Each structure stands twice: as structure tokens, then as C-alpha cells.
């Protein structure tokens, strides 16, 4: 079993470039299946979730090449309609392939994604969108079978689900006629998906707003695209400076994508400056408690940054209240932070963080991707040694977390225990 070994107490100083956005490249890889040709995708991060998506594309008969941070997907001779159960279980977000497979092949099969470390992961909105576009969905024994020639329709999402918006977009591109998606998610990754679809020749507009319109039904050709920088990885490195003290510059990301996170860090006493595709943070004083942090759909405070900000606020002067409004159970990192001396009480969706002057090193375990990143950050600011296990969760979303942090001056390495 591998683990991070961290000697806390080192201030950070330096610059780091964030890799391509996981939550943009995953739907883009699914979208590549819609093209009758080869797509070339640059700034593709080397993550286990990306590897799983490429496995699914190979299983669907695509030619796949992955050189450095460029992936080529040739979907000119598709030969499959199902997502293998093992890959579905490994990565619940594989459900994003549903719309693309059904749109391209006229049928699709996959096992229903189970619950996960964030709580139940229902896909009712995904399936309702498929039905609105003329697809039939049969559920039997935990497996979903979808079929039908898709036609344009008016999809209305009861909540601005990121995945359901993406699945509806991919199905709509293949559906003959006009589709509108109302109450669409507005995340920057949705805009990236729209721009990629446009390079394939699709007619999509409105991404980033609550109403997306697609003129679908025309065949798509391959395209070439560069994925946006990962805003949550950028937020992670800014929060690392807040945890350990020091100054960090993060490049390769649009500062506007994480302005709710930088606003909270500024309120906590950090100095944050932003440039065209970079952000710089300086944290010299102990952090102050901030006004309640409520997670919300974009452009609200991102749920994916909740754990990493909590790590920073654990060692602060004052109290900060967190309200997790997106996922049912996204506080699994709290018990582990408590082992490091944090004073946090959870009541349902609310966590009250009473800042303490210092944390101490401990042996802690990551139970999910962003919770694992949070524990790693907390260890940077703790006194003494920490070991963090469960790195398979962290490797899903960070290309080289320990390498980047070491570059910034942290004493962290990956060891086999
Ligand atoms: C995406 O997940 C991201 N994953 C998540 O990032 C992110 O936390 C989430 O959006 C919210 O921003 C990817 O993009 C691969 P949702 P997704 O559908 O699409 C409920 C990370 O750390 N819901 O917007 O699964 C759902 O249960 C990951 O990188 C339904 O009820 O999120 C949740 O409570 C974690 N029915 C809420 O909506 C549905 O059909 C938001 O989920 C779909 C969702």
C-alpha cells in the first residue's frame, strides 16, 4: 500500500502549473465517440479517471493513443454499445458515456452507478433527459438498456446537474432537430464541452448560461482541442499556501473560474492577486475565521473545494461554518482532520470548524478524492510527521500532487508501506 509521508511546518514558495481539468476532459472523451473520425485532445491530464475513460473508448471499438498530455481518439469504426461493469464501478461518472453511445449507435447498455463515498449518486435526471429526446430506458437487475432514434426536445432539469447537462448535450447533438436544456449547469467545464463539440461541427450555444440550445442530427467529424486548466487543482494549491504559509503562484488557469474560492481566502487574511491565466497568493499571518461557506452550483462556492478550504480553516483564529448543499455525505475527511487536532463538529449538512492554533501530524486515510487532498494540505501545516493512505482516491484527480507540492518546498514523498 502506498502512502504520502509528510513532514509538516515547511513554508511554501514557488510557482506551479495546473494540469488539464479532469471534469472537462471526461465528458470531452465521451463526446469524441460521437465523431466519425479522429479527435486530438491536448492538455489531457494523466489521471486514473482518464485512463478508465480511454479503456471504455477502446472497448467501444475506438483507436486510442496517449502521448504525453495529448490523447487521440479515432471513433470512425465504433463497435460497441456497452460500458463494462468493472469500469462503471471504478468510475461512476462513466454514466456520461450514455448519451454519446445511444446517440451514435442507437442503443446503449450500462450498469446503474451505485452509491459512492459522496452519498447516493442518482441518475434520474440523466434518464429523464434521454426519455425526453425519444430514448427508451429499461432498468433490470441493476442494468440499464437504452435504445431509440433520438429527436430534439425540451429538456428541463429540476436541479442544475453537471452530469445530466452533459449527457443531455451529447444526446442532443445526435438527436435530429432542436433541443433546449433548461436549468442547465453553468460550470466552466460545460463551456469547454460546448467548444469541443463545436470543433466537431456541432451546433451548440448557451453553455455557461442556464439555457443551452442544440441543433442536432448532423454527422460530426473529428476535431482538435485544448482542455481548460483544472480550477479545483488550482484551488488546492492556493489552499496549500493558506495551510502552510508562504507564497505560491498558480499558472494555467482562468482566475475567474475560482473567484468564490479566492474571495474566501482573501477574507481569511491571505493576499491574492490574479493575472490573465494565473493567480498568486501570499499568506503570512494566521488565518481568520470567515463568514459561512455554503456550497452551491457554479458560480457559487464549489463543493469540490469544500474539503480543501476546511483543511485551511482548521488551523485559524476564529470559527467558520460550512454548509454542504450539493452532496449528502461530503464530510468524511472531518474525522481524519480531527485526528490531527482539528476541532470540527458536524450536524447533517453543517460543519462548524473552530480554528485551533496548531495541528499535529497523524496517520490518516483518504476516503475520497478531495478529502484526500484536504488531508495532505492539513499535514503540510501540521507539526511533525503525517502519513496519508488511500492514495488511489487522490490519483483520480491529481496528476502529481506530491511532486507539485515538493516543487513548492513541501517535505512530502510517496512511499510503499
Ligand atoms: C460533477 O459530478 C463532478 N464530476 C463532481 O466532481 C462535482 O462535485 C459535481 O459535478 C458538482 O459540481 C465530474 O464532472 C466528473 P451533479 P456530478 O450531477 O455530475 C444530484 C470531483 O471531485 N443528482 O451536478 O455527478 C446529485 O446526487 C467530482 O471532481 C440527482 O439527484 O454532479 C448531487 O446531489 C466529485 N439526480 C447533485 O445532484 C441526477 O440525475 C449534483 O450532482 C444527477 C444528480
Q: Whose CA is nearest to atom 43 of ligand 1?
A: 123
pTM of the model: 0.97
pLDDT band at 115 (very low <50, low <70, confident <90, very high): low
Residue 113 reports pLDDT greater than 80: no
- pLDDT tens-digit series, residues 84-112: 998 888 888 899 999 999 999 999 999 87
Find out whether the beta carbon of 23 lies less than 6 Å from any atom of ligand 1. Answer: yes
pLDDT at 88: 86
234 CA distance to ligand 1 middle (Å): 19
Find out whether the beta carbon of 158 lies less than 6 Å from any atom of ligand 1. Answer: no
Find out whether the beta carbon of 295 lies less than 6 Å from any atom of ligand 1. Answer: no
116 catalytic? Reply is yes
Q: Whose CA is nearest to atom 42 of ligand 1?
A: 161
pLDDT at 114: 63
Find out whether the beta carbon of 236 lies less than 6 Å from any atom of ligand 1. Answer: no
pLDDT at 175: 98
Q: Is omega for the bond preceding 299 within 30 degrees of 0, making it cis?
A: yes
Domains defined for the chain, CATH in brackets: 2-18+229-416 (3.65.10.10), 22-226 (3.65.10.10)
**How far is Cα 364 from Cα 330, in angstroms, rounded to an integer?**
17
- pLDDT tens-digit series, residues 174-225: 999 999 999 999 999 999 999 999 999 999 999 999 999 999 999 999 999 9
- pLDDT tens-digit series, residues 14-63: 999 999 999 999 999 999 999 999 999 999 999 999 999 999 999 999 99
Q: Are 358 and 9 in contact (CB under 8 A)?
A: no
Residue 232 reports pLDDT greater than 70: yes
Say what angle helices 97-105 and 22-32 make with each other, to 10 degrees.
10
Q: Which residues have CB under 8 Å from 61's CB, separation 6+?
A: 75, 77, 78, 79, 80
Amino acid at each position: 500500500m502506498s502512502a504520502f509521508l509528510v513532514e509538516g511546518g515547511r513554508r511554501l514558495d514557488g510557482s506551479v502549473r495546473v494540469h488539464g481539468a479532469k471534469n472537462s476532459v471526461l465528458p470531452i472523451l465521451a463526446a469524441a465517440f460521437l465523431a466519425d473520425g479522429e479527435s486530438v485532445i491536448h492538455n489531457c491530464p494523466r489521471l486514473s479517471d482518464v485512463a478508465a475513460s480511454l479503456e471504455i473508448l477502446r472497448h467501444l471499438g475506438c483507436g486510442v493513443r496517449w502521448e504525453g498530455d495529448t490523447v487521440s481518439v479515432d471513433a470512425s469504426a465504433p463497435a460497441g454499445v456497452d460500458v463494462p461493469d468493472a469500469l462503471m464501478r471504478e468510475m461512476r461518472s462513466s454514466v456520461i458515456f450514455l448519451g454519446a453511445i445511444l446517440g451514435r449507435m442507437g442503443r446503449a447498455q450500462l450498469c446503474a452507478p451505485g452509491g459512492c463515498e459522496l452519498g447516493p449518486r442518482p441518475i434520474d435526471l440523466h434518464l429523464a433527459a434521454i426519455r425526453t429526446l425519444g430514448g427508451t430506458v429499461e432498468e433490470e437487475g441493476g442494468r440499464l438498456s437504452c435504445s431509440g432514434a433520438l429527436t430534439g426536445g425540451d429538456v428541463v432539469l429540476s436541479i442544475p446537474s453537471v452530469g445530466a447537462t452533459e449527457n443531455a448535450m451529447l444526446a442532443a447533438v445526435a438527436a435530429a432537430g432542436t433541443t433546449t436544456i433548461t436549468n442547465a449547469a453553468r460550470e466552466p467545464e460545460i463551456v469547454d464541452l460546448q467548444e469541443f463539440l463545436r470543433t466537431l461541427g456541432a451546433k451548440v450555444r448557451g453553455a455557461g448560461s442556464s439555457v443551452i440550445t442544440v441543433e442536432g442530427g448532423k454527422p460530426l467529424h473529428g476535431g482538435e482541442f485544448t482542455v481548460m486548466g483544472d480550477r479545483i487543482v488550482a484551488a488546492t494549491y492556493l489552499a496549500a499556501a493558506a495551510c502552510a504559509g508562504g507564497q505560491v503562484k498558480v499558472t494555467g488557469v482562468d482566475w475567474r473560474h475560482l473567484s468564490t474560492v479566492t474571495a474566501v481566502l482573501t477574507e481569511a487574511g491571505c493576499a491574492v492577486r490574479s493575472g490573465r491565466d494565473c493567480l498568486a497568493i501570499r499568506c503570512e499571518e494566521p488565518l481568520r475565521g470567515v463568514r459561512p461557506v455554503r456550497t452551491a452550483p457554479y458560480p457559487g462556492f464549489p463543493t469540490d473545494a469544500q474539503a480543501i478550504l476546511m483543511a485551511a480553516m482548521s488551523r485559524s483564529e476564529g470559527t467558520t461554518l460550512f454548509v454542504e448543499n450539493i452532496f449528502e455525505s461530503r464530510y468524511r475527511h472531518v474525522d481524519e482532520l480531527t485526528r490531527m487536532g482539528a476541532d470540527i463538529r458536524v450536524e447533517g449538512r453543517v460543519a462548524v470548524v473552530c480554528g485551533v492554533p496548531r495541528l499535529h501530524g497523524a496517520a490518516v486515510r483518504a476516503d475520497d478524492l478531495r478529502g484526500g487532498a484536504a488531508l495532505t494540505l492539513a499535514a503540510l501545516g501540521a507539526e511533525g510527521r503525517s502519513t496519508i493512505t488511500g492514495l488511489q482516491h487522490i490519483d483520480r484527480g491529481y496528476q502529481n500532487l506530491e511532486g507539485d507540492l515538493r516543487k513548492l518546498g513541501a517535505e512530502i514523498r510517496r512511499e510503499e508501506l
